Amino acid sequence: MPNYTIIGLGRIGTSLGMAIRGRQSGSTRVIGYDAENNAQSLAQRMGAVDSIEWNMDRAVADADVVVVATPAGALYDVFDAIGGHLKPGAVVTDTSPSKRAVLAWAEELLPGNASFVGGNPLTGASITSQKDASGHIFYNAKWAVVTPRTAGRKAIEAVTDMIELVGAQPVFMDAHEHDSFAAATTSLPAVVAAAVMNAVSTSPSWSEISRFVGRDFDQLTSSAASDPASSHSAAATNSDMLIHWIDQLIERFQLVRAGLADEQERFASNGAVADSFVQAWEQRARLEAGVADRRPETGEHNAIPSANESMMGLFFGSRFAKVLGTGKEKKKDSTKYDRRKLN
C-alpha cells in the first residue's frame, strides 16, 4: 500500500487525510505538513494524519503519493521546494481549481523521475474551515483528473486508486475544459459573493440593512466566508476563463437593468426582467431534477390533432375537444415555469 503525504492541512487536506485513514489498511501511512503549526496540530488531533513533519523536505522523502492541497497560487513554491526531495517514482497531485498553470509549473519544477497528475475534488461540500473537515465529503463526489502527456499509466492509477479509496469517482478532463468549468462554478460565485457583500456592506446604511439579512442574502454571500487566499489564487491563476464568465454575467445584468429602467418592460410578463427569473427558475429546476446535462427543447410544438379532435373542434372548440379526445392530460413538466403566474 502507498504512503501518502498531504501538504496543506486546510479543510480539503484534513478531510482527505481523514478519508484515507478511515479506509486505509496494512502499512499505509499519512504524513501531514502545513506551514501553520496550529493547522498541523489540529489535523493530528482530528485523526487526519499518522504523524506530522515540521520540515517539508522530510515530509515528502518517503512518500509514494504527494497531495498538495494548498491554494493554487502557492503550488509554484511548493513544487520548487519538494522537487529535489522526491523519491524516484513518486507521484504528485493537487486539489486546486486551476490546471493549466499548475501543469506548466509541474513540468518546469518537478524532476523527470517523478510524475504529476492534476486533480480537483468536486465535493460541493459547504465546509469553509479546517475544524469542519470530514472524510465523508468525498463519498460519491466527482473528482476531476487532468493528465499531462508525460504521465504514465502507473502514475495515473496511483491517483485514481486514491480517489476511489475515499469513495469518489474520477472524471478525466482536458485542462482548458476543466479551467473554464471551474471558473464558472467556483470562482464566479466567489466573485459575485464578494461583490454583493462589498457593495451592500459599504453603504452608509449597512448597520440598518444588516437587520434585514436573511436566508437569501446569507446563501448568496456564503462563499465570502471562504479563505480569501484560496479565492484570490484561484481567480489569479485562471484569470482569462474567469474574465469570460464575468463578461457573460455583466451582459445578463445589463439586460435586467435595461428592463427595469423601462416603465412598461419591467412589468411585462414576457420582458427581460421576467425572462431572467423564469429562465433561472427553470434551469435550477433542471439541475435539481438531475437533467441539467440534457439540453431543453428550444421551442414548443403543438401536437397535430387527431381526426376525432378535429371533428369535435367544429362543435365544441379546440381546447374542449382536446380534453374529450385524449381522455388523459399530458404529464406536467416540473422544470417548466407556468408563466400565467406572471400576469
Give me the pLDDT at residue 27, please. Answer: 75
Task: State the virtual CA torsion across 261, 262, 264, 265 in degrees, nearest 10.
Answer: -80
* Residues 67, 54 within the same domain: yes
Is the pLDDT assigned to residue 303 strictly greater than 60? no
* Residues 20, 167 within the same domain: yes
CB 53 within 8 A of CB 25: no
User: Of 222, 238, 261, which residue is a domain's last?
Assistant: 261
> Cα-flanking dihedrals φ and ψ of residue 213, to 5°?
-65, 125
Compute the Cα dihedral for 5, 137, 280, 209 and give only its sign.
Answer: negative
For the chain, list the strands marked E by DSSP: 4-7, 30-33, 51-52, 65-68, 91-94, 115-122, 142-146, 169-172
* Residues 277, 233 within the same domain: no
Mean pLDDT of 46-74: 95
* Residues 136, 15 within the same domain: yes
The tens digit of pLDDT for each residue in 175-189 reads 999 999 999 999 999
Residue carrying the nine cell digits 429602467: 261
Number of domains within the chain: 3
* Residues 69, 124 within the same domain: yes
The tens digit of pLDDT for each residue in 257-297 reads 999 999 999 999 999 999 999 999 999 999 999 888 766 55
* Residues 155, 218 within the same domain: no
Mean pLDDT of 10-27: 89
Q: Please report, as a single letter, which amino acid is at residue 213.
A: V
β-partners of residue 92 are 66, 116
The pTM for the full model equals 0.82
User: Of 127, 153, 173, which residue is a domain's last?
Assistant: 173
129 to each of 14, 99, 227, 267, how far by Cα in Å? 10, 23, 8, 43
The tens digit of pLDDT for each residue in 105-163 reads 999 999 999 999 999 999 866 677 899 999 999 999 999 999 999 899 999 999 999 99
Q: How confident is the model at residue 311 (pLDDT cuts 50, 70, 90)?
A: very low
* Residues 27, 128 within the same domain: yes
* Residues 104, 236 within the same domain: no
* Residues 92, 125 within the same domain: yes
* Residues 30, 159 within the same domain: yes
Give the span between the Cα atoms of 125 and 166, in whole angstroms.
15
Q: 4-7 and 65-68 as β-strands: parallel, antiparallel, unpaired? A: parallel
* Residues 166, 281 within the same domain: no
Is the pLDDT assigned to residue 19 strictly greater than 60? yes
CB 3 within 8 A of CB 28: yes
> What domain range includes position 324?
266-343
* Residues 253, 188 within the same domain: yes
User: Of 244, 261, 278, which residue is a domain's last?
Assistant: 261
What CATH code is carried by the domain that includes residue 222?
1.10.3660.10
